Amino acid sequence: MIVEITAEMSINSVLKKTTPGDTIILNDGIYNEKVEIWMDQITIQSKNPGKAIITNKDYYHKIMQDGNECNTFHTYTLYIGGNHITLKGLIIQNEALPSKTYGQAVALHVDGDDFLCENCIISSAQDTLFTGPLPHDLCERYASFYPPEKLKGYPTKQIYKHCTIRGDVDFIFGCATALFEECKIVTIDSNRTTPSFVCAPAHPKVLPYGYLFYKCSLEGNEKTFLARPWRDYGCVAFIDCQLGKHVLPEGYNKWNDTNRDKTARFYEYTQNLNTATRVSWSHQLTVSEANKYVADFKAYLAKKNH
């Protein structure tokens, strides 16, 4: 079934009436709503790409009813809990900018498997896109207060194609095996006194692949590291990407005073890169190694978990 709605309607209300295989088409406008998708096999798309905006403003420093700050993983604008979900042509944003005022502010939080996001703009500042699941240690730590249905910890596979993702600190983070293909990755101006970080992978050691940024363009003005490992074995590869001058020569950061430089799995192939400037613990690939990595990654991604 195809359901077409306007910005005066509630996306959540419509989702309650959907069944697997349904498509929800959003007409032009601003949908100011915190949305959760739990049904499997749902497509949400904009009738006119880039004209439907799903927006909200929750953030880490928001004081909740119990007097505590809001947990990062409660700040999302759009939460994906179902499997086989597709998003097309949407703008998904969290309005809590700048990060130095509001802290973490997730725009899109994806816990579902076999997720596809095409031609979307995902925008916030710190922690823009969370690619679930949560790391195992956080699943244990949050068990007393976080909904159990969001603590399953199952591996997920996610694909982002022709998307624009905007943020400043660790703005792509999590444990999913995720492909970012021909995406625009934009480090926003935030007047930070310290460098920004594009991604913070947290993949467990048993997971063979983490993030792959393939044929992406990385843009911005703020000095930026490509990645830092949020957990010991975080895994990321940048292959055939166009890197802006804002990317720091060393490329990567080990995460404060940790020893994650000894365990992190960071790979790169960039034409004409002066590899001598990169940190010694990143792995610089040859052309043939890079091509094999992409092929193997996509083959692994094609094997369905569910």
**Residue 161: what are its φ and ψ, rounded to 5°?**
-125, 135
pLDDT at 306 over 70: no
pLDDT at 42 over 90: yes
Check if the beta carbon of residue 217 is closer than 8 Å to that of residue 272: no
Q: What is the pLDDT of residue 275?
A: 83
Sorted by where each starts, the structural domains of the chain and their CATH numbers stand as: 31-302 (2.160.20.10)
State the chain's mean pLDDT as an integer: 95
- Region 288-303: mean pLDDT is 96
- Region 204-225: mean pLDDT is 97
pLDDT at 140 over 90: yes
Alpha helices in 3-162, H assignment, sequence order: 11-15, 99-102, 136-141
pLDDT at 261 over 80: yes
Q: Please, which pLDDT band fits residue 10 given cuts at 50, 70 and 90?
A: very high
- Region 219-232: mean pLDDT is 96
pLDDT at 305 over 80: no
- Region 20-37: mean pLDDT is 97
pLDDT at 304 over 80: no
Question: Cα–Cα distance between 198 and 223 in angstroms, integer?
Answer: 10
217-220 β-sheet, strand order: 29-32, 52-56, 90-94, 121-123, 164-167, 184-187, 217-220, 242-243
Going by C-alpha positions, the residue among 131, 133, 167 that lies closest to residue 152 is 133
Provide the whole-model pTM.
Answer: 0.96
Going by C-alpha positions, the residue among 293, 288, 280, 186 that lies closest to residue 238 is 293
Question: Cα–Cα distance between 126 and 196 in angstroms, integer?
Answer: 9
pLDDT at 156 over 60: yes
Question: Cα–Cα distance between 77 and 37 in angstroms, integer?
Answer: 11
Q: What is the pLDDT of residue 202?
A: 97
pLDDT at 244 over 70: yes
pLDDT at 231 over 80: yes
For residue range 88-134, list pLDDT tens digits in order: 999 999 999 999 999 999 999 999 999 999 999 999 999 999 999 99
